[in-house]
Structure 1
């Protein structure tokens, strides 16, 4: 069973990576001719126009590769996956429109809440209202965490590659029937995109890509929390993004800033402004994600470490990022605010 899953998952990973890489290459040419470019502004971390919204390629490729693999192997799609597929593409369509035309932040949030609620309803699993509310907030929060953190080259795609691959590994350890294949297809799509997005990026995924990746990651956690893969495992793997977004939000509230307004004060953005390169910043965050992935597998997959060691291990990369930001900003400007 495990060997069969590994073979199918690897095939899905490779197929999604190759198809996405080829698709993004074609998209780049089309975007250059059509003028679909992200022009730098005051909040940008890039200095030249770059093709945007190329995430639409893996949004299409990953689900199709997974469906093809499942239909060839089992002859049907698992319960709940259709709900993810439909709602994720709906959210991607809205995000693509936002990439080109722009939507008010309140309207975007309302659509995300409605889509998340529709997904939970479509899964057909009864749950207490408080649990449903928390899961809606999780789906929306993870979607926006990926979007907020997609501000330097390769960061969001790298997080998806490592984080969702970790979910695939956990699924294999639990001999889950389809999670490894779906996770492998999505992480393969992220790898195919990463080929074009590694610093210096030649293309951006846009909201259509970042929101879809975050929503897909969160949906996998919801679909599988009662199927052998603990929900907390997904929270741990997403820890670098959640900590940055959460700490930034708290600091903005403390400063009485309008939290729905666009800004450039995330910790990863502060590192770049303090002189770190995109590659250095992305490398730091992905190193942290890789470490959290190993901890997640060790604790939730093998039960080889105690809870206290898990919590301490999770804190280490987060504290390291905050300390490095503080050090970098003080080196450049001793009077810089916290």
Structure 2
């Protein structure tokens, strides 16, 4: 039986099931999931008391003040899972601990910036400067894209390769950070898309024995996203705010460089690009549209031209909109895994696991809403 399980694991790309790596990954995922799931109600109650909330306006869907401190809970769940990983298997991150610390520091800076912006408002120029600082922090600690490793592009001399790779890296990090932020407009969309992206990149990185650190970080990020989604699926009781969307965009961009982007063979760059295709395309069409309308600062003028807004107008339901966005993101992820050469059984397992997890949290949120309505009716009749 153990040999059969080991053989099955190897057919899915898990290099060493007996080594306990798979169990550690599962534990880290469950740690982030459980902590975030249980921590958010307390954060929500505190946010309500102190007024950390988005007020209704013509762009937002909420009809009453909605707590916007979910990003803090997501970040806490992610960090707790990383600490657990460090305690259980420090050898996993020993060789890249500087890069891991750089990712955590950059994420911390952006989470704090996003949270302050949520509560008090910051200028677009200041937010962009902080994003640039966080991206440079990754570069100076060895996390950057090798331009000559990008397939289908002409090679350049070494003197040009490094600065060009650094410029692409900064564009990648800042672009994805803002893309995730702009995608956050309908309950459950960013949480679900981030969970899908985390699971797809995790499955891809798990095919390679030297990408254990990426797998660990993605397990923690995915678990935190799923724990948050339990409270954010429509009708949401809390939203992540800029703090949460910055965290997801920045961390996914950074961890993808720690894992799949560093491969020089085949279509390795296509994996994160295809996984992130939904937020990237959404941002591109919004920016182009705003520039065409004569808006000089396309990122500083919010509107309702995003894909999720258009889909919401077509479906008339936030839940259906989120489900469609999740499935499109998963389809993009499958294409990315195929391009990377991930084994079919691993792709199937990733899809099944991802769909089951999303169904579980959506079901729990809908069931909880039913109980809330029943309690409201009972209280009203009394």
TM-score when normalising by structure 1: 0.85
Q: Say which of 28, 37, 47 aligns to 1:12.
A: 28
Report which stretch shifted further, 208-217 or 218-227.
218-227
Q: Say which of 51, 70, 73 aligns to 1:54.
A: 70
Give the corresponding residue for 2:245. 210
| Paired residues, number | 304
Give the corresponding residue for 2:191. 157
Give the corresponding residue for 2:224. 189
Alpha-carbon distance in structure 2 between the residues aligned to 1:74 and 1:46: 44
Q: Say which of 240, 247, 257 aligns to 2:278.
A: 240
Give yes or no for the alignment of 1:169 onto 2:203. Answer: yes
Give the corresponding residue for 1:178. 213
Residues 158 and 286 in structure 1, CA contact (< 8 A), matched pair in contact too: yes
Q: Say which of 90, 100, 117 aligns to 1:81.
A: 100
Alpha-carbon distance in structure 2 between the residues aligned to 1:196 and 1:145: 22
Alpha-carbon distance in structure 2 between the residues aligned to 1:110 and 1:13: 32
Q: Say which of 40, 63, 80 aligns to 2:56.
A: 40
Give the corresponding residue for 1:102. 121
Residues 44 and 69 in structure 2, CA contact (< 8 A), matched pair in contact too: no
| Cα drift, residue 244 of structure 1 | 1.2
Q: CA deviation digits over 1:244-297, x for unaligned, max 9?
A: 111121122122124132222212112324452111111111111111111222
| Cα drift, residue 202 of structure 1 | 0.7
Give yes or no for the alignment of 1:201 onto 2:236. Answer: yes
Give the corresponding residue for 1:66. 82
Could you list the runs of 4 or more consecutive aligned residues of structure 1 that deviate by over 4 angstroms after TM superposition? 124-127
| Cα drift, residue 124 of structure 1 | 6.8
Residues 143 and 254 in structure 2, CA contact (< 8 A), matched pair in contact too: no
- SS of residue paired to 2:59: coil
- SS of residue paired to 1:48: coil
Residues 67 and 77 in structure 1, CA contact (< 8 A), matched pair in contact too: no
Alpha-carbon distance in structure 1 between the residues aligned to 2:66 and 2:221: 24
Residues 5 and 180 in structure 1, CA contact (< 8 A), matched pair in contact too: no
TM-score when normalising by structure 2: 0.75
Trace 1:217-296 onto structure 2 (pairs within 5 A): 217-224=252-259, 225-226=261-262, 230-258=268-296, 259=298, 260-274=300-314, 276-296=316-336
Q: Which runs of 5+ in 1 are unaligned?
A: 305-338
| Cα drift, residue 91 of structure 1 | 1.4
Q: Which runs of 5+ in 2 are unaligned?
A: 1-14, 147-160, 345-382
Give the corresponding residue for 1:331. none
Q: CA deviation digits over 1:174-222, x for unaligned, max 9?
A: 2322211110110000000000000111100010000111000000112
- SS of residue paired to 2:229: helix
Residues 47 and 69 in structure 2, CA contact (< 8 A), matched pair in contact too: no
Alpha-carbon distance in structure 1 between the residues aligned to 2:55 and 2:195: 27
| Cα drift, residue 228 of structure 1 | 7.8
| Cα drift, residue 67 of structure 1 | 2.9
Alpha-carbon distance in structure 2 between the residues aligned to 1:287 and 1:238: 13
| Cα drift, residue 75 of structure 1 | 5.0
Give the corresponding residue for 1:24. 40
| Cα drift, residue 46 of structure 1 | 2.1
Report which stretch shifted further, 53-62 or 122-131.
122-131
Alpha-carbon distance in structure 2 between the residues aligned to 1:118 and 1:66: 19
Alpha-carbon distance in structure 1 between the residues aligned to 2:214 and 2:21: 10
How well do the aligned residues superpose, as a CA RMSD in angstroms? 2.0
Distance change >3 Å, CA 233–CA 275, structure 1 → 2? closer
- SS of residue paired to 1:178: helix
Alpha-carbon distance in structure 2 between the residues aligned to 1:62 and 1:46: 27
Alpha-carbon distance in structure 1 between the residues aligned to 2:38 and 2:21: 26
Q: Say which of 94, 105, 110 aligns to 1:91.
A: 110
